[in-house]
């Protein structure tokens, strides 16, 4: 990965989760609990993931670089779950591949409502059966997308950050006021696709998804820009995502469930 060597990977402290990719590579993650806690409310939970598209090398590399610099009171006020390489088979293939080892675009494989009809139709009509955008034969057909969905259910994030490349923009799915600018990246809503993580989580699970599209899939932004995106992102999160609201939503769901 650009600007990330083996030593930095090892230093990140990621561990095998027990889940493996289609080709049997470990799917790795780590939890970093908040150390700078506010007594009045629980820490925000942020799920950060890179490399869901294996040929977007910078999207995984920048996660390692951010983890290296996770100091400061805001970062330490957050409970983190970090998954730097969601698609290791694609990233480590001889020629890095967007898709996983089954040729599936993992970011079209999440169980959005109506997937069975919409995802294949969209793929055929709108992408003209582009193999780089194949959604799979069923939602969550792939071990890597099942793993992401499991992590979402167990960690219960307040916000998800998913890093991509190379469109050089920010995208956002969720009810909050969207971020306008992280570093040089400007908000540009790219659209909603059947089976995408933003559509599944941000639109249908009510957990907002920030999609960061770095400007180049092979070449890293300058160090100052890597840092700027990180700082702007943390500031947006603490100002716009409120853990109490999420808890109120969970309470209202469970109360309405018991009223029946």
The residues binding Zn ion (CB under 5 A) are: 53, 56, 164
> By C-beta, is 78 or 170 nearer to Zn ion?
170
Least distance to Zn ion, CB of residue 162, Å? 8
Least distance to Zn ion, CB of residue 57, Å? 11
Least distance to Zn ion, CB of residue 163, Å? 8
| CA distance readout (Å), 221 to 65, 214, 217, 229, 235 | 11, 8, 10, 10, 20
Two tokens, residue 114? 């109506």
Residue 144 burial (CB count, 10 A): 30
Two tokens, residue 47? 């799920």
Rg over alpha carbons for the chain, rounded to the nearest Å, is: 18
Least distance to Zn ion, CB of residue 200, Å? 15
Least distance to Zn ion, CB of residue 54, Å? 9
> By C-beta, is 45 or 164 nearer to Zn ion?
164
In 57-206, where do the E strands start and end?
78-83, 159-164, 169-173, 181-182, 185-187
Least distance to Zn ion, CB of residue 165, Å? 7
DSSP letters, 183-242, are TTEEE------TT-HIIIIIIIS---EEEEE-S-SSSPPPHHHHHHHHHHHHHHHHHH--
> By C-beta, is 65 or 108 nearer to Zn ion?
108
> By C-beta, is 53 or 65 nearer to Zn ion?
53
Residue 49 burial (CB count, 10 A): 23
> By C-beta, is 140 or 212 nearer to Zn ion?
212
Sheet holding 44-49, edge to edge: 15-20, 26-32, 78-83, 44-49, 159-164, 209-213, 169-173, 185-187, 181-182
> By C-beta, is 21 or 211 nearer to Zn ion?
211
Task: Report the residue closest to Zn ion, judged by CB.
Answer: 164
């Amino acid at each position: 990965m650009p600007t990330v060597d083996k030593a930095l990977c090892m230093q990140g402290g990621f561990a095998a989760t027990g889940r493996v990719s289609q080709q049997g590579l470990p799917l790795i993650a780590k939890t970093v609990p908040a150390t700078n806690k506010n007594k009045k409310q629980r820490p925000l939970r942020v799920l950060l993931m890179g490399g869901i598209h294996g040929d977007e090398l910078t999207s995984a590399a920048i996660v390692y670089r951010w983890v290296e610099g996770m100091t400061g009171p805001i970062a330490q006020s957050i409970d983190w779950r970090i998954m730097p390489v969601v698609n290791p088979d694609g990233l480590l293939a001889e020629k890095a591949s967007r898709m996983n080892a089954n040729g599936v675009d993992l970011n079209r494989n999440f169980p959005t409502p109506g997937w069975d009809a919409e995802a294949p139709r969209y793929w055929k009509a709108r992408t003209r059966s582009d193999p780089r955008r194949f959604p799979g034969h069923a939602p969550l057909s792939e071990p890597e997308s099942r793993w992401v969905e499991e992590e979402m259910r167990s960690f219960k994030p307040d916000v998800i950050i998913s890093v991509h490349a190379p469109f050089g923009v920010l995208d956002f799915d969720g009810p909050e006021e969207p971020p306008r600018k992280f570093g040089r990246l400007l908000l540009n809503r790219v659209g909603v696709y059947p089976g995408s993580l933003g559509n599944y989580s941000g639109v249908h699970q009510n957990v907002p998804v920030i999609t960061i599209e770095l400007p180049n899939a092979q070449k890293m932004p300058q160090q100052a820009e890597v840092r700027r995106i990180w700082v702007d992102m943390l500031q947006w999160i603490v100002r716009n995502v409120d853990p109490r609201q999420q808890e109120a939503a969970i309470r209202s769901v469970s109360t309405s469930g018991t009223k029946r």
